[in-house]
Amino acid sequence: MNILLAEDDLQLGELISFMLKKKGGYKVDWVTEGDDAYEYAKASHYDVLILDWMMPNGDGISVCQKLRSERYSGAILMLTAKDTVEDRINGLDAGADDYLIKPFEIDELLARLRALTRRNYAPILEEQISIRGLIINRTSQTVLQGEEEIQLSPREFQLLDLLVKNKGQVLPREVILDRIWGIDADVSTKTIDATIKLLRKKLDAFGKQDLLQSIRGVGYKIEN
């Protein structure tokens, strides 16, 4: 399960993130501000978003409302110390699927996450997409041009797929590193540049020299 945790309490956020990884075996991205929660949710696929109600630069309610207004269909769990009936109603009306009051036991959080994923809220990504004559199949993790397959490593495929899903947007190296290798991975941004170089070389062989664009000092993008 892929989880986005938005919690500005550093001690609590670190504890929740650690326990979700240790007891749940989940992959967890942890942010501390509402704006970051929104950007992460838009840029990547998560099975569940865990949003704290009170955060700087966009509280959980505002983030939830904004995502729902843009037809975000993933599961959202709200964390809060607010425990009145009116508060619960406001949270659910904002688009949250569930509501957990602090303090809580980690086992209850894990149970609620399992229940949310069983409801299958997670958005279904297109199995196959096309861009500039390339056919990208996410199920088989293959890239075809006509009848020919472009042989990519798993990392190269993940990188290409990430850029295609966010086409038209510049993805900073740090974001790419987090999404593909994980924020705790013992690799540097030079690894991204090396992977891009290999990927570009393989695409160039099929006449796609300008598909991957470098944004100096920032990262990479694919244009619409």
Which candidate, 57, 47, 107, 55, places its Cα nearest to that of 79?
55
The residue type found at 94 is A
Question: Cα(168)–Cα(179) distance, rounded to whole angstroms?
Answer: 17
Q: What angle do CA 67, 73, 76 make, to 5 degrees?
A: 70
Q: Which pLDDT belongs to residue 180?
A: 82
Which candidate, 91, 21, 1, 24, places its Cα nearest to that of 52?
91
Among all chains, which residue has been given the structure tokens 């099975």?
47
Q: Which pLDDT belongs to residue 81?
A: 81
pLDDT digits (tens, 9 = 90+) for 119-147: 654 444 557 888 888 899 887 888 998 88
Please tell me whether the peptide bond between 103 and the residue prior to it is cis, using omega within 30 degrees of 0: yes
Of 35-39, 91-95, 120-124, 217-221, minimum mean pLDDT range: 120-124
pLDDT digits (tens, 9 = 90+) for 13-24: 999 999 999 888
